[in-house]
Structure 1
Amino acid sequence: MVWSDMLLAGFCFLVSFLFTVVAMPGVFSACRKWNLYDLPGGRKVHQNAIPRLGGALFLPALLLAVAVGLIAYDGQTVLVVHPSSLLLACGALLIYLVGLVDDTIGVSARHKFLFQIVASAVLPFCNLYFNDLYGLFGLHDIPMWLGYFLTVFWVLLVVNAVNLIDGIDGLASGLVILSLIVFSVLFSQIHAWLYVVASCALMGTVAAFFLFNLWGRVDKGTKIFMGDSGSLILGYAMAYLSIKYAMNNDMVLPDTRSGNIVWPFTILLIPVFDLVRVAFGRILKGRSFFHADKTHLHHKLMNLMTMRQTLCAILGLFVVFCLINTFLLSIALNATFILLLDILLFTAFIEAINLIIRHKKKHKL
């Protein structure tokens, strides 16, 4: 049974990957026809006009791969489509369309945020919400109203975190691929195979995009960005999977060592912590949260190294946090201690970078 489910997940990965590879030339043609390019300038690090609709393939590839996989399935009843999965599709479609419209004709930040709130509210109304914090800050079972609020807040936070960390080649897609690998392992451990299949299907299309984004050539017309249609849908999917794993229900059993709540914030730690840090920095300087600047983690690292080195450093940091928290969970530390330690380590990492940057500037003078 397990082997058949694993093969199905691999099959869905392959379908999604191949669909994206085959369909990507059509996206390049559409970008050329309608002049849909991300132009250089401002805080952007690229020097050429790059097509920006690569992420438009993520949702179609995901739905196609899962549909083909379920049709090809041998009829066993392990995979059950829950109502929450159907409502996820509705919320995902809304946020996908918002991103697609923004990539083509533009959407104001205010309207985009309002649509994000609507899409975020889909999950609690589908009875999918944080209902147990597993000892985080001393809380276990929490009231429904608080769970609803935390869920909407978390989805908004993750969606915007993934969107804003998409600043250099391969970063957002690379972090999402690593996150989906971890989610696949976590869901397989509790035999939630539908979510393993969905994770692998999404991983396939993102992996194909990653190749075009990182190794595509501008002079050959094979380089592309994901755009908001890609980053928003990836953020929404990451938020959904994290809530699904954290929720205390029949599928995801409570973890006595706090793993159910620790793993979601571990997986999304880098983009979320970076967003919160940048947001507070802007507020303290009297600037709008939406004010663009070069204070994100990848901007700081690029003062010290190349873009590829920055990418490797941040992906490596993801792996380090996963290993640290795996060890901390193995010795049964509570969720609050782990979260606070993660915040301390991330802050120390940022301050170390700032110190090196200041030292470098001082010696240049």
Structure 2
Amino acid sequence: MSSMLFPLLTSFFSAAILTAIGLPLIIKACRYFNFFDLPNARKMHSKPVPRLGGLIFMPSAVIGLFVASWTQVLMGGEEFVFGVSTVAMTFGGLMIYFIGVIDDRYGMKASHKFVIQIFAALFLPLCNLMISDLNGLFGIHQIPIWAGYILTVVLILVIVNAINLIDGIDGLSSGLCILILTAYAVLLSANCAIASLDAAIVGSLVVFWFFNVFGKVGGMKIFMGDAGSLFLGYVCAYMGIKSLMRPIAPVDCGEEQMMISITLLLIPVLDVVRVALQRKLTGHGIFEPDKTHIHHILMNAGLSMHMTLACILALFFMICGINYALWQCHFSMPLVVVLDVAIYVLIWGVLMLVGKSDD
């Protein structure tokens, strides 16, 4: 255990140190080139804030992974070896990362970004990283290959956009991703290379989180931008699918592993699905920005930004605790999912009523 833990720690701390060095440089560059996230009626901030913090995530992850591999060799282990699916994730992640950078700098239509996201999502199932067994979720087990391709791509798109669109207040997207990727590092700990990648991204995110939440406007405050949130969404999608698979073939996703992934990704996924349905039902385009996400609703109910962040992170832990208790009581996976959705809808309904009464 200690031989595996040391590469994870070196990956975490090397990425954290690089991020701590890199973010102030990015902030200076943003000020010099005037790269700011400008306030508007939909956004929570009232002053321009540098927005390219997400640029640091990928290089930090790569260097953290390299240091972990080097540490593994020094300790007498083997150098990290990556499979085809990890290479596919790298290419897809690069594509997602660069469209985020372009969007942060020049702006890009949401529909255009979505098309490129589809191409990036296709990398994984084309390299045999796909879901082919739902393990009895709603009575469904093995599914045809063509259905597995479609389901995998749809899930990647949903998760990528869920993490991207929940990035509306300080520390929310990064905070959730810290928790999600830490859990996946534990779940995938048998694969030291993948766990080290998770550890590196978490190390980078922890440092970014402090800059984002506690940094002062005009000082060290910075946003991750689409480059960061889209990349994080893609990594979370990859880890979620990877955790459902055997090392060789995309079959026999364990029911317990599926329940864990559903639990970890539930809040951002339910939020983006609800918002998309709400926009469609009210005659708005699903890519049309608004203020109907869960963090908007909480703030509309009178909570401060930091209280909103604390409430959503507390909700994450509450869902994890409830699902663990239900699972230990041998509740079926479909029933647990239905109860999760019911809890979310109940909370959303109460918050909407509170918000309307305050108006």
CA deviation after TM superposition for structure 1 residue 213, in Å: 0.3
Q: What is the CA-CA distance between 1:104 and the residue it aligns to?
A: 1.1
Partner of 2:232: 234
Distance in structure 1 (CA, Å) of the matches to 2:318 and 2:80: 33
Q: What is the alpha-carbon distance in structure 2 between the residues aligned to residue 68 and residue 230 of structure 1?
A: 22
Secondary structure, aligned partner of 1:298:
helix
| Distance in 1 (alpha carbons) for counterparts of 2:249 and 2:261 | 16
2:258 to 258, 261, 286: 261
Q: 1:82: Cα distance to partner? A: 1.5
1:270-305 residue CA offsets vs partner (Å, 9 max, x unmatched): 111001111111111111001111111000101221
Q: Which residue among 323, 339, 342 is the counterpart of 1:325?
A: 323
SS of 1:17's equivalent in the other structure is helix
Amino acid corresponding to residue 298 of structure 1 in structure 2: H
Match of 1:42, SS state, is coil
User: Following superposition of structure 1 onto structure 2, how do residues 59-74 of structure 1 map, counting pairs within 5 Å?
Assistant: 59-74=58-73
1:35-184, aligned counterparts within 5 Å? Answer: 35-74=34-73, 75-77=76-78, 79-184=80-185
Alpha-carbon distance in 1 for matches of 2:286, 2:2 = 47
Task: Give the alignment partner of residue 309 of structure 1, picking from 307, 315, 320.
Answer: 307
The 8 Å contact of residues 132 and 248 in structure 1, kept in 2 or not, is answered as: no
- Could you tell me how far 1:342 is from its partner in structure 2? 0.8
Contact 2:52/2:224 (8 A) holds in 1: yes
Q: 1:251 Cα shift?
A: 8.7
Q: Describe the shift of the 1:79–1:254 C-alpha distance in structure 2 as closer, same or farther (beyond 3 A).
A: farther
Paired with 2:245 and 2:132, the residues of 1 have a C-alpha distance of: 6
User: Is the 1:98–1:229 Cα contact (8 Å) retained in structure 2?
Assistant: yes
Offset, 1:236 = 0.2
- Structure 1 counterpart of 2:350: 352
Gaps of 5+ in 2: none
Instruction: State how far apart, in whole Å, the 2-side matches of 1:119 and 1:255 are.
Output: 23
Unmatched 5+ stretches in structure 1 = none
Separation in 1, partners of 2:318, 2:16? 27
Deviations 1:140-186 (A, max 9, x none): 22111111101100010011111110000000000000111211222
Contact between 1:96 and 1:233, CA under 8 Å: does it hold in 2? Answer: yes
User: Following the alignment from structure 2 to structure 1, what is the Cα–Cα distance between the partners of residues 136 and 81?
Assistant: 30
CA deviations over 1:102-147 (Å, ceiling 9, x no partner): 1112222222111100000000011000011111011122111111
**Does the CA-based 8 Å contact 1:58-1:202 persist in structure 2?**
yes
- Mean Cα deviation higher: 243-252 or 224-233: 243-252
Contact persistence 1:254–1:260 (CA under 8 A): no
Q: CA–CA distance in 2 between the matches of 1:248 and 1:286? A: 43
Cα distance in structure 2, aligned partners of 1:232 and 1:30: 22
Question: Is contact 1:55–1:226 with CA below 8 Å preserved after alignment?
Answer: yes
The answer to whether the Cα contact below 8 Å between 2:26 and 2:53 also exists between their aligned partners in 1 is yes
SS of structure 2 residue aligned to 1:140:
strand
- SS of the residue corresponding to residue 188 of structure 2 reads helix
Q: Distance in 2 between matches of 1:206 and 1:144?
A: 36
Deviation at 1:69, TM superposition (A): 1.1
Aligned length: 356
Separation in 1 of the partners of 2:18 and 2:241? 28
* Paired residue type of 1:214: V
User: Aligned equivalents of 1:85 and 1:56: distance in 2?
Assistant: 20
Q: CA deviation at 1:338?
A: 1.3
Q: Which amino acid aligns with 1:26?
A: L
**In structure 2, C-alpha distance between the alignment counterparts of 1:281 and 1:347, rounded to whole Å:** 13
Indicate the residue corresponding to 1:270 in structure 2.
267
Partner SS state of residue 343, structure 1:
helix
State the 1:255 CA deviation.
6.7
Q: TM-score, normalised by structure 1?
A: 0.94
Match of 2:334 among 324, 336, 345: 336
Cα distance between partner residues in 2 of 1:198 and 1:244:
13
- Could you say what secondary structure the match of 1:6 adopts? helix
The runs of at least 4 aligned residues of structure 1 exceeding 3 Å deviation read 77-80, 248-256
Q: Check conservation: 1:54, 1:226, Cα contact below 8 A.
A: yes
The residue type equivalent to 1:156 in the other structure is L
2:19 match? 20
Q: For the structure 1 residues 252 and 259, does the alpha-carbon distance in structure 2 shift closer, same or farther, using more than 3 Å as the test?
A: farther
Which letter maps to 2:159?
V
Write the letter of the residue equivalent to 2:50: P
User: Residue 177 of structure 2: SS of its match in structure 1?
Assistant: helix
